Structure 1
């Protein structure tokens, strides 16, 4: 017997660059081992913005209408056959990646590298997997997580980007007593600072080209000290040697400003910008680590001999695996002091297009900085 469709639900659907439409879609009951979630809060991400602005994110182009959004929390509306660990009315967070659970990576608990991963709001696979910018969605129960009582929906939506940093700190074996330098203080960089502090970092500093963001990071206690990089002339063409020399000189000036000539234990590179990646190797201490988190420049010229001679380890970090319980516990613990200030603007689902337009501008009509934009209802 075929399942009977439920009343329709609303979804923000992307058809092409800046072509986002609010549609009413058929709502089907959850299938076996699925949970239906009423979405309460979705945080907008940089990858969502790329899809909205350009109809693609890197190599992945939108080939069919796609619902964006993958940082979300909500309330269980219904459960499908076989689901025994969730009940309607329960508050939950949605982990957006649906792994195959059969490949070698999944079996080794590195499912973030699963070659068969279907990730909500990503065009990397076809048919695309719709995201969370809809009023309700069905999702596998094994990637649904219960919320601690003291964790709000907006905090729970931050569990996704926070997971990126938890995974990165695990990769770096970051522990109490180490120092951290963070490149880029957008939402991911702010979270990098917050996680490093929560793990007992002796010192957390940040570098960016945006003084307003740096001021925010320092004023709210995320970074103890900050340094604003001078903006280079994009039209000025430099040879590879000139680029690498400039990166070394800029790194030296930053370390001098911080009074930390020997460098930092771990560098969290959250920009993806080639000059910052080059600088990262120079601002890491001898025997230190560089975590590559930001996605940006495809091919980067690196001073690898400098890294090799000083035994600076360079690690890639992609998404996350087995981080959500820790992320939700951390968000509800109070250890990430002031983290709620990361959410600067809120919109209803019907105003999703306005939310993306504001995120693209980076500043609202009152001149206030835009960091994390939430779409949805209750907090």
Structure 2
């Protein structure tokens, strides 16, 4: 019996593949037979630290918010899509009542519920399960021809699309991206698609930089080599995708006067020092970028249109090998995006 198997975190360092009784869809809900799930940095934090920022695991929780699969069943009152149709799942359910939701900024809704998140208690169960039940509004039918193992990138690609839009018009601009993890590399692909003429990517390791080159980086530089002549000066935009304080400092130092810095990577908990006087005297614009909203549909269209992001996916493991998959995903010298395959026993 494998129908109810799921990848569940019980606390720091305690990840288990265990049976979960799949509940059928209620009114307004859709049951999904999950095919693929992408391991995100937040999933790794929950596994290694038992927390993401201030969100601590207080009960066993199914991980995962990057998922795609097929419709398995419809709850009462749901007209479609039909059973068997391939779909991707938007992981957020905003309240649609708060000021932010009314102003069209549903991605920063404080009451939003997100798949595989410990932000609320009881926690919101995630998508690393063979059977997932979600509100019908979260289900997106895939564009024709878009494969499930490519559609699973829609969630992280949406994050990248939102971050680039926060930067403004990048047509013809020079951009620095600090951090060549999966999100940073997807940012590169979106930047090039949006017309950025130069995209320089920095990282501590050579392996992620190779992936960045494959998805469109015009040049790369090692973050631990400040004297490297490859470092750009006076870029128009800098996007911080590493989540490291040093990355933020680099963005502020390298962006031109009056330029824009987008903070995308989540920094360590607590206060982070950075060269604030440089921000003041150069009138640098700092913007945060958190999750996404309607960009999910745009990401699916980009994927269907052939956006060159396939090199970001480096490994696939069956659900039964979840521990190995998480171990691989945490090793940046060998892996970028790691997928869990729920279609195999």
Q: TM-score by structure 2 length?
A: 0.94
1:3 corresponding residue in structure 2: none
- Separation in structure 1 between the aligned mates of residue 268 and residue 128 of structure 2, nearest angstrom: 28
Counterpart selection for 2:239 from 265, 268, 283: 268
1:156 aligns with 2:147: no
Please give the per-residue CA displacement for 1:332-368, whole angstroms capped at 9, x wherever unaligned.
111x22x1111111011111111112222335xxxxx
Q: Which range moved further: 19-28 or 118-127?
A: 19-28
- Separation in structure 2 between the aligned mates of residue 161 and residue 48 of structure 1, nearest angstrom: 13
User: Displacement of 1:304 after TM fit?
Assistant: 1.9
Summarize the alignment of residues 176-191 of structure 1 with structure 2, pairs less than 5 Å apart. 176-191=171-186
- Separation in structure 1 between the aligned mates of residue 326 and residue 202 of structure 2, nearest angstrom: 26
User: Displacement of 1:377 after TM fit?
Assistant: 4.3
- Separation in structure 2 between the aligned mates of residue 297 and residue 51 of structure 1, nearest angstrom: 14
Please give the per-residue CA displacement for 1:34-85, whole angstroms capped at 9, x wherever unaligned.
1110000100001100111121122111111100010011100011112124
Distance change (3 Å), C-alpha of 1:26 and 1:257: closer
User: Displacement of 1:11 after TM fit?
Assistant: 1.1
> Does structure 1 conserve the Cα–Cα contact (< 8 Å) formed by 2:199 and 2:218?
yes
- CA RMSD after TM alignment: 1.8
> Does structure 2 conserve the Cα–Cα contact (< 8 Å) formed by 1:74 and 1:91?
yes
1:222 corresponding residue in structure 2: 216
Q: Which runs of 5+ in 2 are unaligned?
A: none
1:122 aligns with 2:117: yes
Summarize the alignment of residues 244-283 of structure 1 with structure 2, pairs less than 5 Å apart. 250=226, 253=227, 256-258=229-231, 260-261=232-233, 263-283=234-254
- Separation in structure 1 between the aligned mates of residue 296 and residue 52 of structure 2, nearest angstrom: 25
2:28 corresponding residue in structure 1: 33
- Separation in structure 1 between the aligned mates of residue 15 and residue 252 of structure 2, nearest angstrom: 41
2:298 corresponding residue in structure 1: 326
> Does structure 1 conserve the Cα–Cα contact (< 8 Å) formed by 2:91 and 2:114?
yes
Larger radius of gyration: 1
Counterpart selection for 2:317 from 333, 343, 347: 347
1:96 corresponding residue in structure 2: 91
Q: TM-score by structure 1 length?
A: 0.86
Q: Which runs of 5+ in 1 are unaligned?
A: 1-6, 232-249, 364-368
